[in-house]
Amino acid sequence: MRFPREVGLKRSKCESQYDFDRIINTLRDKSACYTSLYSFNDMKWNGYKMTYDHNSAVIDRAWWDFDGDDDPQVKEDAAELIRRLDGTVLAVATGRGFHVHQILREPVIGDRWPSELTRYEREMAQDLSTLDCIGTVDRLCRVPNTLNPKRGRWAVIIDPQRFAADPLGYKIPKQPDLSLSHLNPFLKQSSTFSLVRWVADNPPETNSVEVGETMLGDVVAADQIPMMPCLDAIHTDNPQHFVRVAFGQHLVENLRNFSDPKQMTQAEKDAVIDAAVDYIKDLNWRDFREQTTRIHLASIIEMKTTPSCRWFAGKGMCKGKCWRYDGTVQL
């Protein structure tokens, strides 16, 4: 593993493999164990919590999360994604779904790579309706071979190729299988897949606007944004995480007038985030934290589009054909 990185839901800084092993071995069967998906070159203590520069994330993998391991469609989708990926692909059955890790041949660092990673992950998972979320630089993920106490299930390493060949017939271990330890996604792994090469071979769609020419203009007033019926859940006091992410994508996509995030200045992105935070604040979610919201929106703003109607329907959020229908699912 690379360090420093975050450990636990409180995102404590962990400086070394020794400290990481000590923490995980203490909590392995007592508490849900999480770690940041990536390590960071720049992590600082601001007096009450750790802060880090997103652009300093050492991106050494792509990652996808499927929620609902008892659902046959979840297994089929996770297996389909594994079949689509090149290089070293590893998987963990988390006790509530599946995490799929694709190791990169060379880690990447810098301000362009979080958005390129997101573009790649979304493209590879296209049409997989049960996908819950993708790897972003602020993401936490389950540590393999630790207990999910809420469900009484272990997060276990699985054989990705055998699982992909027969997702419904593959028997997921009830406890960690030591014979699969070499497939731990947080051990040092080599791979042939290069995100750098993929980006070079698959440039993003462009339009006639010259780089550097603003596309945004004035930020659209948030109260003028049309809201789809499938996002009605944002008006509850504690929406689920995937509802919040989809809402955030829809919100910032409209606030930036559908411009390409790559052609926006940082000042324009900051203006969009400010407007989105003000809008969300008025929804009165019981666990609203402004700084946490800003961190998530900083990742979301790099996503070019809101999820498809197929995605909303797969999450059970679709209320029927509306003004935003895109034809990706039969309604």
For residues 17 and 129, membership in a common domain is answered with yes
pLDDT, position 69: 72
For residues 176 and 253, membership in a common domain is answered with no
In a domain, 204, yes or no: no
pLDDT, position 5: 92
Which residues of the chain register pLDDT less than 70? Answer: 45-52, 54, 205-224
In the chain, count of helices (H) and strands (E)?
A: 9, 13
For residues 130 and 21, membership in a common domain is answered with yes
- Read off the CATH number of the domain in which 129 is found: 3.90.920
Omega before 4 cis (within 30°)? yes
The full 3-state SS of 68-134, as one line of letters, equals CCCCHHHHHHHHHHHHHCCCCEEEEECCCEEEEEEEEEEEECCCCHHHHHHHHHHHHCCCCCCEEEE
- Give the DSSP H or E segment for 243: helix 241-255
155 forms beta bridges with: 146
pLDDT, position 221: 54
pLDDT, position 265: 86
pLDDT, position 208: 35
pTM beyond 0.85: the answer is no
In a domain, 290, yes or no: yes
pLDDT, position 215: 38
pLDDT, position 207: 38
For residues 136 and 17, membership in a common domain is answered with yes
CA 186 and chain centroid, separation: 17
pLDDT, position 89: 98
For residues 255 and 167, membership in a common domain is answered with no
In which domain, by residue range, is 309 found?
A: 222-314
For residues 259 and 168, membership in a common domain is answered with no
In a domain, 216, yes or no: no
Final residue belonging to a domain, choices 167, 199, 231:
199
pLDDT, position 260: 75
In a domain, 265, yes or no: yes
Q: Residue type for 299, please? A: S
DSSP code string of 122-165: HHHTTT-TTEEEE--TT-EEEPTTEEETTTTEEEEEE-HHHHHH
In a domain, 146, yes or no: yes
pLDDT, position 255: 84
Backbone φ, ψ for residue 62 (5° rounding) = -100, 155
Our count of domains for the chain comes to: 2
In a domain, 232, yes or no: yes
In a domain, 187, yes or no: yes
